[in-house]
Amino acid sequence: MRNSTKSILLVAACLVAAILLVGAGLLLGMNPQVRDVLRNVTPKGLSSWSSSGDGYELQQEVLYKLRNTYYEEIDPDSLENDAIDGMLAGLEDPYTIYLDPESYAVFLEDATGSYSGVGMVVEMKDGLVTIVSTFKDTPADRAGIRSGDVVLAVDGVSTNGQTLHEVVTRIKGKEGTSVVLEMYRPASTTATTVAGETAGDEEDVGKIGQTSSVADNSALPPGGETGEYTLARRTIAIPVTESTTLEAGGKEVAYIDFFTFSDGSADELRSEVRRAVEIDGVDAIILDLRSNGGGLLNEAVDVASIFISKGAIVSTEGAHSRQQVYEATGGAFTQVPLYVLTNEYTASASEIVSGALQDHGRAILVGETTFGKGLVQSIVELSNGGALKVTSAVYLTPEGRDINKTGITPDVQAPDDPDTELDEGVEAILDLITGASVTR
């Protein structure tokens, strides 16, 4: 009986000790002050065991200490947002960002194809908030703002240290209100033309030329000019296409400027191509993807499928997503010669289309090397009503080229000089169509 009693007491003591240890572990994770006390009374090794957790106890401890010792009142929500931004900044990927509930609502509004602003597309390039394009007849376009210009300040507040999303949010606003932009125009580098042959849930494909996710205006190239623009905001309806017919040596050429890969844009482009081929009977098509910043992945596949009858258009792969190959969807117009215009702001979905057409030998690319943004973003909604816009995969051209940070080199180099009335890229294509030399 004596040994049996000892055994029962030993088991009971072990259970009590286990309960105490579990309780201590919970307290250690919940309250840093309790943790400090318990560390002084628990055996060595318990504190290290209990602090292993999920790796976020230190952040909780810092927040607790700040709230109880900082000389001013602090806003925990603001600190939480800053902590999220700091975590994402560690990825050195300016395209993976946190959208708070208000910002996410604005993002969803933009996805409808209209917004209130000044009519320009911007990207973070080499640490600078850079204009990719402006939409025709918008306040930005009428003011003379153009691709390559850099936003230095919005309403007197420097963009330095701001994320791209923060800058864009300050530029947008209620229709009828005004915004003052301080802009920098780098010295022109395309004064001479050299031509020759070289080489959640919606997914957004969108050149990482920088590793910082915030603006750094000390990186401005020398020799440029600064100017100030006061623009009246208005509702901007984002256009999809703009078409005209050109003539080259007796041949009719359909020139189609394609602006964005938004929902339904491929259908609109297909209608333009069908009209040009079946009704107008053109001899060639020019598809202008210059300063097209991209958009939806499925639209890129559908746009390429207008000209490619079968085979791979693009493939994507990431650490948490299996490789997926997107094939042409059919119904292509394959007989009419195709020329594609590109420049350094041809990005993302535009590069998917350009790469597929080049790899399939379906088009001649003319212009400049593209932006180099071979990434796919996915929207992951969060419990607070916000979302993460996460780079979830890279994409490869049909021949397996990874163009991220390098871009796609056109078959014929023909950069357009913005300081001349002549469109050197279009002229180079017309020369190719008529058989004239494109060397200038």
How far, in Å, CA of 413 to CA of 27, rounded?
66
The yes-or-no answer on residue 348 being catalytic is yes
Q: What angle do CA 341, 373, 233 make, to 5 degrees?
A: 75
Element (H, E) at 363: strand 363-367
The yes-or-no answer on residue 110 being catalytic is no
**CB-CB contact of 386 with 97 (8 Å):** no
Residue 360: phi and psi, rounded to 5, are -85, -5
Q: Which residues of 353-362 are buried (b: 16+ CB within 10 A; e: fewer)?
A: bbbbbbbbeb
Residue 315: phi and psi, rounded to 5, are -130, 150
Residue 190: phi and psi, rounded to 5, are -125, 35
Half-sphere exposure of 427 (CA within 13 A, CB side): 16
How far, in Å, CA of 139 to CA of 329, rounded?
38
The dihedral over CA atoms of 275, 279, 284, 290, expressed in degrees to the nearest 10, equals -20
Q: Which residues of 46-77 are buried (b: 16+ CB within 10 A; e: fewer)?
A: bbeebbeeeeebeeebebeeeeeeeeeeeeee
Among 348, 350, 378, 392, the active-site one is: 348
Of 104, 94, 63, 55, which is closest to residue 80 (Cα–Cα)?
63
Among 359, 411, 416, 431, the active-site one is: 359
Of 269, 281, 278, which is closest to residue 243 (Cα–Cα)?
269
Among 149, 373, 392, 423, the active-site one is: 373
Instruction: Report the DSSP beta bridge partners of residue 178.
Output: 232
The yes-or-no answer on residue 359 being catalytic is yes
In this structure, is the dihedral angle defined by the CA atoms of residues 320, 322, 323 and 328, taken in order, positive or negative? negative
Half-sphere exposure of 335 (CA within 13 A, CB side): 7
How far, in Å, CA of 184 to CA of 373, rounded?
24
Catalytic residue numbers read 348, 359, 373
